Amino acid sequence: MPLPGIDTALNVLASRVGQDGASALAHLYARPIRDEDLDFLFDLYASTRAEEMAATGWTPVEQQGFLHQQFQFQHRYYQEHYHDAQFLLLLRRGTPIGRLYWWHTASRATLIDISLMPAVRGQGLGSAVLELLTRQVDKQAQPISLHVEPENPAHRLYRRFGFEVVADNRVYLKMERAARALDDRANRPVPPTQGNDHHECT
C-alpha cells in the first residue's frame, strides 16, 4: 500500500525556500507525469545516454531509433512493475527539468529513478531531493533501495547518504540504506560535489 505522496512534501519544502535563490529547491515543483510529458521524458532519457551513444559510431537516425525503443521499454516496465509508485515530473519556474520516480510502501522505499537535464546537473538539486527522501523514510524507520550503473558518478553521492552496495550483477549496483530513526543522523550529508545528478534503475 503506497504512502502519501512525496510530491506534497517536496512542494511544501520548495515553497518555504522559494524566496531563497541560493537553495537548490527554490522554485521547484513536482507533479505526476502526463501523456503530454512523454516527449520531454524521452529527451531526458536520451540525455542520460548521450555519452554511450556517442561511442557507438551509429548514425543519428540509428541512435534515435534505439533510444526510442529503449525508452518505451523502460517506461512500460516501470508502469507495470511499480504501478502504484509516484512518477513525478520536476519543474523549475514551470519548465520541466527532470523526473523523480519513487515507490514508498508501509515497509520500505525504492528510489526507482531520479534524472535531471544536463543544464541543471551539478547544482545540488539531486542532493536536496535525496535529503528530503531520506528524511521522509526515516520518519517510518524504513530502508531504501536503488539500482545504479557502476560507472555513474551518482553512486558516490548515494554512499554519502548512507547507501551501501549489497549486490553487483555487472550491469547495475544494488544499493541499500538501512532503516534508521529520524534522530539517528550522525553521518549527515555534506554539501554536494559537482557531478551528474542522474541514474538509471530497474
Q: What is the pLDDT of residue 183?
A: 62
3-state percent helix, strand, coil for the chain, nearest multiple of 5: 40, 25, 40
User: Which SS3 state, helix, strand or coil, does residue 34 take?
Assistant: coil
Check if the beta carbon of residue 196 is closer than 8 Å to that of residue 154: yes
Q: CA-CA distance, 86 to 84, in Å (whole number)?
A: 7
CA atoms within 13 A on the CB side of 61: 0
**13-22, 104-113, 119-128: which has the minimum mean pLDDT?**
13-22
pLDDT at 192 over 60: no
Amino acid present at 154: A
* pTM for this prediction: 0.85
Supply 42's cell numbers.
524521452
Supply 145's cell numbers.
533501495
What's the topology of domain 6-177?
Answer: Aminopeptidase (3.40.630)
pLDDT in tens, 72-119: 999 999 999 998 999 999 999 999 999 999 999 889 999 999 999 999
Closest C-alpha among 176, 181, 109 to residue 139: 181
Number of H helices, E strands in the chain: 6, 7
Q: What is the pLDDT of residue 198?
A: 58
195: left (phi over 0), alpha (psi -120 to 50) or beta: left
Domain locations along the chain: 6-177
Kindly give the interhelix angle for 60-81 and 38-48, rounded to the nearest 10 degrees: 110
Q: CA-CA distance, 83 to 39, in Å (whole number)?
A: 21
Q: What is the pLDDT of residue 191?
A: 40
Kindly give the interhelix angle for 125-138 and 6-16, rounded to the nearest 10 degrees: 120
Check if the beta carbon of residue 144 is closer than 8 Å to that of residue 109: yes
- Does residue 4 or residue 70 have the better pLDDT? 70
CA distances from 40 to 44, 66, 71 (A): 6, 17, 12
Supply 32's cell numbers.
505526476
pLDDT at 15 over 80: no
